[in-house]
Structure 1
Amino acid sequence: MPVTELDVRTADGVMDVYLHTPDGGGGATPPVVIFYPDAGGVRPVMHDMAAQLASLGYAVALVNFFYRSGKISFDVGKVWSDPDLRAELTAVMGKADPASVVRDTAALLDVLEGRSDVRADKVGAVGYCRGGLMAFTLAGAIPDRVAAAASIHGGGIATEEPTSPHLRAEAIQAALYFGVAADDRSCTPEQQELLTAALDKAGARYELEQYTAAHGFAVRDNLSYDPAAAQRHWEQVTALFARDLPTG
């Protein structure tokens, strides 16, 4: 799939974004999907996943929301067991809070709206781990722009913090999908109950599916990668977009 690197000017600098688009031309203008990586950042496996989604007819904007720290990524096979790497990751994530990432994404959407080769009036969002938090947050922050959002083993999506994105449930217009791991300290059963209670009260359109797998199951270079769970999540995410962000 073709990929174009975009330099998006934000309030804090220049964010690198990688726009994966379908092969060929002459068909329908592809709708945009914002793709937020996991805590490992933008790396080959994320490009592979973005390209796979682009092959279905989407313009997939793979976002480096760690750009404040540079073009940086982490070896997810080592980062959680290496104290120094983990400390570095914690510092990097601290510069990429959800509110800042929403502002960054708004700047990206302004850029994409100026392009004739993509459709950015209504967009999709998908994210993994930390990126799952970003995708869900985006749906509540700019509800008139997000048609569908998927959070896959997302952490921090429903907490007691006043900035928790589930508190914006009543604003959300998007169809939502949550793929949660049965073994995940960042999305506990209690947090899932908090999430579903808020979504039910708001009358949101959503599905929450629990996978018999560990956090990180959907991403190939994670130690916890589970091929069957990864395939299942992919079917669910692509079905969500086919239904609520059609390419035709």
Structure 2
Amino acid sequence: MPAHLFTAEAGATAPAIIFYMDAGGIRPATLAMAERLSDAGFVVLLPDIFYRYGPYGPLEPKKVFQGDVRAILGPLMATTGNAKSAEDTDALLAFLDGRSDVQGNKVGAVGFCMGGGMAIAAAGTRPDRFAAVASFHGGNLETEAPDSPHSYAARLDAELYIAVAEGDGSYPPAMAEQLEHALNEAGVSYRSETYPAAHGWMKPDFPVYDETAAERGWREMLAFFRRTLR
């Protein structure tokens, strides 16, 4: 599994965060976001969760959205999922454990779009290792699938921050209600906020990118990880 590592300043130790990408895959905008998170004082590991597919792209979201999105992204997305991504968790943690610049035993996770559910699944797979999970415009967080993110609620020991897109068809109010019910039943500490922006607003190369909402998201994300991981 190819992965990109972004370290803190030379000689410094810092908490680690695993970055779960969106369906657009590894591309300049994804790398820039991981680097920005690292520059804020974290060791960031960005795995390519499409590795089972093989080489691809890099994809340009604006061109993807102008074409047949399902035909372009469908084959890539079919190679992964919450359960398959969760299977990789031990390998990612083992890699971070082998680094002297990673501070502490607990890590964080952040996911965007489909990566939001994967981040939750990873934390539910290894609850002893994840202290915090942030999901931005995550979709399908409560479904009937056996690896639905909400099904990991009882195993979570991490605190969650759930940033929701306004009018998101992949995460409608009824689904949000069911996810929050599962989290409440499991006693999970979480905060959910709806942003006045469209699904994908955090991604600078998406047509729906919203700079004002994105900067708010960055402020919330950094404050959340600084509080939970330090």
TM-score bucket (shorter structure): over 0.9
CA-based RMSD? 1.4
Is the Cα contact below 8 Å between 2:19 and 2:46 reproduced in 1?
Answer: yes
Q: What is the CA deviation profile of residues 8-33 of structure 1, one whole-angstrom value per residue up to 9, with x for unaligned ones? A: xxxxxxx01101011222x3x21210
Unpaired runs of at least 5, structure 2:
none
Matched, 1:87 2:77: no
Q: Indicate the SS of the match to 2:135.
A: strand
Residues 163-172 or 141-150, more deviating: 163-172
The aligned residue for residue 210 of structure 1 is 194
Distance in 2 (alpha carbons) for counterparts of 1:196 and 1:148? 16
Distance in 2 (alpha carbons) for counterparts of 1:33 and 1:107? 14
Residues 68-77 or 45-54, more deviating: 68-77
Residues 199-208 or 108-117, more deviating: 108-117
Q: Percent identity?
A: 46
Q: What is the CA deviation profile of residues 44-82 of structure 1, one whole-angstrom value per residue up to 9, with x for unaligned ones? A: 111111111111221000111011122433221122331
State which of 175, 185, 189 in structure 2 corresponds to 1:191: 175
| TM-score after normalising by structure 1 | 0.88
Unpaired runs of at least 5, structure 1:
1-14
Over 3 Å off, 4+ runs = none
The aligned residue for residue 137 of structure 2 is 153
The aligned residue for residue 167 of structure 1 is 151
| TM-score after normalising by structure 2 | 0.95
Residues 66-75 or 30-39, more deviating: 66-75
Question: What amino acid sits opposite 1:245 in the alignment?
Answer: L
Q: How does 1:55-66 map to 2 (within 5 A)?
A: 55-66=39-50
Q: How does 1:19-38 map to 2 (within 5 A)?
A: 19-25=5-11, 27=12, 29-38=13-22
Q: How much has 1:120 moved relative to structure 2?
A: 6.2
The aligned residue for residue 59 of structure 2 is 74
Relative to 1, partners in 2 of residues 1:241 and 1:98: Cα closer, same or farther, differing over 3 Å?
same
Distance in 1 (alpha carbons) for counterparts of 2:210 and 2:41? 26
Is the Cα contact below 8 Å between 2:131 and 2:158 reproduced in 1?
Answer: yes
Q: What is the CA deviation profile of residues 94-133 of structure 1, one whole-angstrom value per residue up to 9, with x for unaligned ones? A: 1012111111232121122122222462110001011111
Alignment coverage as a number of residue pairs: 229
State which of 219, 243, 248 in structure 1 corresponds to 2:203: 219
Q: What is the CA deviation profile of residues 146-203 of structure 1, one whole-angstrom value per residue up to 9, with x for unaligned ones? A: 1100010011111122321212212111110011101211111111000111111111
Relative to 1, partners in 2 of residues 1:240 and 1:211: Cα closer, same or farther, differing over 3 Å?
same
Distance in 1 (alpha carbons) for counterparts of 2:32 and 2:152? 32
